[in-house]
Structure 1
Amino acid sequence: MAKTLHIHSADNVVVCLESIVKGEVVLVEGVGEITALDKIEPGHKIAIKDINKGEDVIKYGYPIGHATEDIKAGRWVHTHNLATNLEGILDYKYSPEKADIEEKLSKMSSKRATFNGYVRKNGKVGIRNEIWIIPTVGCVNNIATKLAKIAGNYIKGSIDEVVAFTHNYGCSQTGDDQEHTRIILKDLIKHPNAGGVLVLGLGCENSNIDVLKPYLGEYDRERVRFLVCQDSEDEMEEGLVLLKELIDAASEDVRETVDACKLTIGLKCGGSDGFSGITANPLVGRISDRIIEHGGTSILTEVPEMFGAETILMNRCKDETIFNDTVSMINGFKDYFTKQGEPIYENPSPGNKQGGITTLEDKSLGCTQKSGGYPVMNVLEYGEVTDKSGLNLLCAPGNDLCAATALAASGAQIVLFTTGRGTPFACPVPTLKIASNNTLAEKKKKWIDYNAGKILNGCSFDDLTDELFVQILRVASGEKVKSEIAGFHDMAIWKRGVTL
């Protein structure tokens, strides 16, 4: 097997697939022999030609920054000699390849597949039949958790689990920050993966049940119950009565054969490494395309991890209106950073850097590959539920828990989570973990659901796309992912304002 990967013919660096020792002569396909002048770890970059100080370093066919010193061919290229090119808020021009967009639009919904899901009264489809406890405020978190634990003893029929989604918000918030909390809570209360929901309030909070109810609009009153703890003599006893009613109502639900056009997947990466952009993320991009070809929907978020690759997405927007929405999302997020007095482009984490990612451009060009190749059809505000099939962009941060929760709130029934470093977390919906490398997949078998590192062993993207697509349909039909088997469920609301 080759020791390096030359991703694009224009690249002046290659990615090391194995450890390379100083002095080792490496054969680079299409380039020739390169003598390593440093020890270089897997996932990291090695220069394949001399790069002058100030000259762009090219990876994926795009600049990922500039050399901060002269770099000889064979040198390790990383944070010690490479810096970002990004600064400030940019002006953008819509430059689409219209013929490609039209061709892709014609292929949407051209294929057919099915899965077995729960069809709700409003026509939406759940892939789980869980009972959710949604606190309106963090003050009742412990009550919610205790209720869920006890009510788990009453599970019957098709009920999967009783889950309490605790959080710290719902009070001491102002303005848009409080508004966003209410919207996310509303989204989760109405999520189709929940066969029944107990909304648990304290009573004196800003986002109390009476305030929250108008946000719900039309909802299935047989499947949503409310309890204000301050109004109850024994909230545990009353809560269990309500949960038993919800379990009784939902336990008779049965899975039905449903067209894959009803499937919405969230696209997320975390703990990325130098392999993420060449294995797991492009594989998920192909899955996004496959879902869209079957009439389904994919949602890409992590706006800060679009910076440096945003023009690729912008030029895939189906029209100028969607392009302008994308520009507003990108620049709005940059403005959010600057108003907080924070640098816009200091994104890669210590784990990212240890895994071989150097700059935000390096990270973003790998990250955005999860979006595949189909046109951008819609841009969603934080908490907005998608109503358009195809590729959607969602305004949310890169933080794993916040972004994955936002994907669930916007309608994703499942989140595909790629990772090069590994994480045990889950979100309100099944979170399918996809490893970017073989070492992680082998070491953390209780975390990882699928190994995209097989691409490094010569497996084809086509074969792995077929394999993973079938696995996703199985998960949509009830197969548990590793985090579900472990009993992990998390949610996190994006905090955007002051705390009173």
Structure 2
Amino acid sequence: MSRFLQIHPEDNVVVCLEEIKKGESIELSDGRQIVASDDIPAGHKIAIRDISNGGNIVKYGYAIGHATEDITTGRWVHTHDIKTNLEGILDYKYTPDTDDIEKKKSQMATRKGAFKGFVRKNGKVGIRNEIWIIPTVGCVNNIATALAKEANSYIKGNIDEVVAFTHNYGCSQTGDDQEHTRTILADLINHPNAGGVLVLGLGCENSNIDVLMPYIGEYDKERVKFLVCQKSDDEMEDGLNLLKEIIEAASKDEREDADLSKLVIGLKCGGSDGFSGITANPLVGRISDRIIEYGGTSILTEVPEMFGAETILMNRCKDEKTFNDTVNMINGFKEYFTRQGEPIYENPSPGNKAGGITTLEDKSLGCTQKSGDYPVMNVMEYGDRTDVTGLNLLCAPGNDLCAATALASAGAQIVLFTTGRGTPFACPVPTMKIASNNTIASKKSNWIDYSAGQILDGRTFEELTDELFEKIVRTASGEKLKSEIAGFHDMAIWKRGVTL
């Protein structure tokens, strides 16, 4: 196995696939010997040409920042000698490859396949048959948790589990902030992975059940029940009785053949490292392409981690309206930062940097590879539910829990989560952890579901795409992921406004 990877012929840095000590050498494809002048950790970058102060550092064929001092061949290139090129609000021009976009569109929905799912009355398909308890306000979180703990002793048939999704919101919020909370809660109440839902209110909160009803819309009265704790003499007894009714209705559900076009996958990365952009993220991009070829849907989010690579997505937009929606999403998110008095490019995180990622461009060019190669078909605001097949962009932050919850609320039945550092969390839907390297996959085998680090061992993307896609279909058909086996369930709502 090679000790380094040059991602693009025009790159002036290469990624070290293992630690290279000072004085050790690597041989490039043109026969040049590069001697390391520093100790360079695995996943980090080494200069393969002299780069003058102010000159661009090129990786993936794109500038990921500029040198803050003269960098000689063999130097370690990282946060000490590179700075982002990114600036504030930008003007963008739509320059698509129209022929390529039309060619790709003609390849969408050309494959046929099925999985075993739970077909709901509205035609949506769940990959789990869980009973969810959704609090309207954080004040009843403990009641929700207690109800879920006790109700799990009553499950039967094909019900997976009773889960309480606690959160801190639903009251003391203003304007759009409150609206977003209501939208996210309503989205989850209507999610096909829930065979039934108990909506648990307090009674005096801003987002009480009566206020929430228009957001929920039509619902199955056998499967969705409501309880206002302040109106109940014994909320535990009443809640358990309602849960027993929901369990009775959902217990009769059976898995049946469902077309893969009904599958919606969320795309997310977190705790990235220097390998994420060369193993896990491009592998997930191929999975995104594969599900689109089956007529399904993928959703890419974490907008701040598109900064620096956004033009790649913009020029893949199916038309100028979708391009303008993408521009508005990107620049709107930058304005959100500046309104709070925060720097737009305060990224990557300490863990990202330790793993070899240097600037936001470096991270974004790796991150956006999860989107694959198909056209951008739709752009969604936070809290929207998708009804457009193909690749969707979703406005949400980079924070793992907030972004993954937003993917679930947008309709994703499963989230593919790539990571180089490892994380145990899970969002409201099955969250498949895909490691960028074999070391973290082995060390945290209780967290990681699949290792894309096999690419570094010589396996091909084609082999891993087939293998991982089969695992996703098995997961959609009922196979449990590591976080599910551990009993982990998380949700987080994006807080954007004033707390009263």
Task: Note whether the superposition's TM-score is higher than 0.5.
Answer: yes
| TM-fit CA distance, 1:88 | 1.0
Aligned-partner Cα distance in 2 for 1:323–1:30:
40
| Distance in 2 (alpha carbons) for counterparts of 1:313 and 1:367 | 12
3-state SS of paired residue (1:104): helix
Structure 2 residue aligned with 1:485: 485
Matches of 1:95 and 1:474, distance apart in 2: 40
Structure 1 residue identity aligned to 2:331: N
AA paired with 2:219? Y
Q: Which moved more, 1:20-29 or 1:147-156?
A: 20-29
**Per the alignment, in what secondary structure is the counterpart of residue 10 of structure 1?**
coil
- Secondary structure at the aligned position of 2:72 is classed as coil
Counterparts of 1:163-312 in structure 2, within 5 Å, are 163-312=163-312
Counterpart CA distance in 2 for 1:400 and 1:35 is 38
Alpha-carbon deviation of 1:219? Answer: 1.3
Q: 1:204 to 1:3 in 2, by over 3 A?
A: same
How far the C-alpha of 1:31 sits from its partner, in A, is 5.6
Counterpart for residue 105 of structure 1: 105
Tell me which residue corresponds to 1:387. Answer: 387
| Residue of structure 2 equivalent to 1:351 | 351
Q: How many residues align?
A: 500
What is aligned with 2:415?
A: 415
Give the corresponding residue for 1:451: 451
SS of the aligned residue for 2:418 comes to strand
Q: Tell me the alpha carbon deviations over residues 428-465 of structure 1, each in whole angstroms, 9 at most, x when there is no partner.
A: 00000000001000000000000000000000000000
In 2, Cα distance between the equivalents of 1:468 and 1:146? 37
CA distance, structure 1, for counterparts of residue 245 and residue 376 of structure 2: 42
- The answer on whether the counterparts of 1:196 and 1:224 sit within 8 Å (CA) in structure 2 is yes
CA distance in 2, matches of 1:213, 1:350: 42
Q: What letter matches 2:438 in structure 1?
A: N
Distance, in Å, in 2 between the alignment partners of 1:219 and 1:232 is 23
Preserved contact between residue 222 and residue 249 of structure 1 (Cα < 8 Å): yes
Alignment of 1:71-110 (within 5 A): 71-110=71-110
Supply the AA of the counterpart residue of 1:158: N
Cα-to-partner distance string for 1:264-308 (whole Å, 9 max, x where unaligned): 000000000000000000000000000000000000000000000
Structure 2 CA distance, aligned partners of 1:383 and 1:84?
31
The CA deviation string for residues 395-419 of structure 1, in whole angstroms up to 9 with x for no partner, is 0000000000000000000000000
Q: CA RMSD in A?
A: 0.5
TM-score (norm 1): 1.00
Write the distance in 2 (CA, Å) between the matches of 1:143 and 1:30.
Answer: 66
CA distance in 2 between counterparts of 1:87 and 1:436 reads: 29
SS of the aligned residue for 2:33 comes to strand
**1:298-328 alpha-carbon deviations (Å, 9 max, x no partner):** 0000000000000000000000000000000
Distance 1:339-1:452 versus aligned 2 partners, 3 A rule: same
Cα shift readout 1:44-83 (whole Å, capped 9, x = no counterpart): 0000000000000000000000000000010000000000
Partner of 1:433, secondary structure, is: strand
Distance (whole Å) between structure 2 residues aligned to residue 56 and residue 261 of structure 1: 43
Which stretches of structure 1, 4 residues or longer, exceed 4 Å deviation after superposition? none
- In 2, the alpha carbon distance for the partners of 1:194 and 1:29 equals 53
- The amino acid across from 1:474 in the alignment is R
**Structure 2, unaligned runs of 5 or more:** none
- TM-score w.r.t. length of structure 2: 1.00
Q: CA deviation at 1:220?
A: 1.2
C-alpha distance in structure 2 between counterparts of 1:40 and 1:29, whole Å: 20
Give the aligned residue type for 1:310.
Answer: E
**Paired residue type of 1:409:** S
- Partner in structure 1 of residue 8 of structure 2: 8
8 A contact 1:5–1:28 mirrored in 2: no
For 1:467, the aligned partner's letter is E
Q: Distance in 1 between matches of 2:214 and 2:369?
A: 39
Correspondences of 1:102-181 after superposition (within 5 Å): 102-181=102-181
Name the CA distance, whole Å, in 1 between partners of 2:372 and 2:181.
31
Aligned to 1:429: 429
Shift of 1:234: 0.1
Residue aligned with 1:393, SS: strand
Is the Cα–Cα contact under 8 Å of residues 19 and 41 in structure 1 kept in the other structure?
A: yes
Contact 1:46 1:74 in 2 (8 A): yes
Offset at residue 28 of structure 1 (A): 2.3
For residues 339-378 of structure 1, the aligned pairs below 5 Å read 339-378=339-378
- Whole-Å Cα distance in 2 between the matches of residues 59 and 234 of structure 1? 62
Q: Distance in 1 between matches of 2:9 and 2:168?
A: 49
Q: Percent identity?
A: 79
What is the distance in 1 between the residues matched to 2:111 and 2:442? Answer: 34
Distance in 2 (CA, whole Å) between partners of 1:369 and 1:30 is 28
